[in-house]
Amino acid sequence: QVKKDFDHVDILVNNAGVIIDDRQLNELGVEMTMAVNHFGPFYLTYLLFPNIKKSKEARIINVSSMAHTFFKASTS
């Protein structure tokens, strides 16, 4: 919708952040927390990049957190 409504994007703030307690996979087999927090912002940036390049002084801001320090990694 953004690509249709706006010719250019001056600023994009990627501020996704979820914690999903139980391990859930999306339809591509990617763990949901990783899909939303990591891959989502990069994919959105990729989709909007043609509009971002049209701005003279575009900015992309990626916000992150230290929430990962509260959890143990699991291989299962």
Q: What are 60's strand-pairing partners? A: 12
| Predicted local distance difference test score (pLDDT) of residue 76 | 63
What pLDDT, on a 0 to 100 scale, did the predictor assign at position 75? 67
Give dist(CA 37, CA 17) in Å, integer.
5
**Measured distance CA(35)–CA(21) in Å, rounded:** 14
Averaged pLDDT for residues 20-36: 88
Residue 16 tokens read as 């996704």
pLDDT at 8: 94
pLDDT value, residue 9: 95
> What's residue 23's pLDDT?
86
Q: Select the more confidently predicted residue: 74 or 25.
A: 25
